[in-house]
């Protein structure tokens, strides 16, 4: 891509971000930071995410389970980049959970705040119960909530072990857990690999603006969202088992950057029978406050 086109795309994306921030901020000032406003903000994010995906040249493919938008769910999946949020939001209005560190990050923190994100304090165990209760309240009020239980974004080598505590919010709210996997398949027509993944994946100590600039230099990206069989928290009332089964489904459909494989993964689903078979192997859930949690 030539520099002129990259500059235009970069300016267009930033204009879109600015327009979203202004509209979301106005909505919050008028309606307040309540659950009703968060649901409306999620709908607004869906609208802008579709525009953002088009501007960035993303083709987002959805497969696996057909989503039921009539009920709120706790969505859990792997995390590779800030573009995960745009890709996911372009399909379904939702609130996202992120860390207090992100909230304290200039620019990005404010974007997350006006977007209606829920924040967790990964540096303190004391607030965990309150945060689980807040997410549970959001689910009870009809908000879809996305959690990245790896607790960070990664370079795509593997799906890290899922942290358990926030799965408790689905138990308290009596809502289903919906595992999903995101795979970035191609960039500029080439399979995503360790050689080009840094154009897409945002992890470690990467800076946001320089990364976005490089991303705007790509012509096209194909990303696949695979939704797996939902887990009923009313029947699987154990956070350890919910986390284990979710990780099994997500990692089963994930294409690792360590592998030379470039084919599309098959959909991984977990049946209720699988859950029952594994239940006697899972240790009983520890107190939810027993381990700190961090997201993104």
pLDDT at 8: 95
Band (pLDDT 50/70/90 cuts) for residue 122 is: low
Task: Name the residue with tokens 């869906």.
Answer: 46
> In the predicted model, is pLDDT for residue 185 greater than 50?
yes
pLDDT band at 278 (very low <50, low <70, confident <90, very high): very low
- The structure tokens 């009920």 sit at 71
Cα–Cα distance, 11 to 269 (Å, whole number): 41
Q: Is residue 268 part of a domain?
A: yes
Looking up tokens 């138990």, which residue turns up?
Answer: 171
Question: Whole-prediction pTM value?
Answer: 0.83
Residue at 295 is within a domain: no
Domain count, the chain: 1
The reported pLDDT for the residue numbered 295 is: 36
**Number of Cβ within a 10 Å radius of residue 238:** 19
Domain assignment present for residue 112? The answer is: yes
Residue 178 has pLDDT above 50, yes or no: yes
Q: What are the CA-CA distances from residue 295 to residues 100, 121, 162 (Å)?
A: 9, 9, 10
Output the CA–CA distances (angstroms, integers) from residue 132 to 129, 233, 245, in the order listed. Answer: 5, 15, 20
Whether residue 198 is contained in a domain is answered as yes
Residue 246 has pLDDT above 60, yes or no: yes
* Domain contains 144: yes
Full residue range of the structural domain in which residue 93 is found: 3-290
């Amino acid at each position: 891509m030539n520099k002129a086109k990259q500059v235009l795309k970069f300016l267009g994306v930033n204009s879109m971000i600015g327009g979203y921030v202004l509209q979301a901020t106005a909505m919050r000032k008028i309606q307040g930071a309540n659950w009703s406003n968060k649901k409306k903000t999620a709908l607004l994010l869906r609208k802008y995410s579709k525009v953002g995906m088009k501007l960035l040249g993303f083709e987002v493919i959805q497969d696996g389970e057909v989503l039921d938008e009539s009920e709120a769910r706790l969505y859990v999946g792997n995390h590779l980049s800030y573009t995960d949020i745009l890709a996911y939001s372009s399909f379904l209005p939702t609130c996202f959970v992120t860390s207090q560190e992100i909230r304290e990050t200039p620019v990005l923190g404010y974007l997350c705040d006006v977007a209606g994100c829920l924040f967790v304090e990964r540096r303190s165990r004391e607030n965990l119960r309150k945060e689980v209760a807040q997410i549970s309240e959001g689910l009870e009020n009809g908000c879809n909530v996305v959690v990245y239980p790896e607790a960070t974004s990664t370079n795509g080598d593997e799906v890290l072990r899922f942290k358990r505590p926030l799965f408790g919010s689905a138990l308290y709210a009596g809502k289903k857990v919906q595992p999903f996997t995101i795979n970035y398949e191609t960039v500029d027509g080439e399979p995503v690999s360790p050689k080009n993944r840094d154009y897409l994946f945002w992890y470690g100590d990467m800076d946001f603006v320089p990364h976005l600039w490089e991303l705007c230099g790509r012509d096209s990206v194909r990303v696949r969202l695979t939704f797996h069989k939902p887990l009923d928290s009313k029947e699987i009332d154990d956070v350890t088992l919910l986390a284990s089964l979710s990780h099994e489904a997500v990692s089963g459909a994930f294409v690792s950057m360590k592998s030379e494989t470039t084919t599309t993964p098959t959909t991984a689903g977990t049946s209720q029978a699988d859950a029952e078979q594994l239940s006697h192997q899972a240790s009983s859930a520890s107190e939810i406050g027993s381990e700190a949690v961090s997201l993104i």
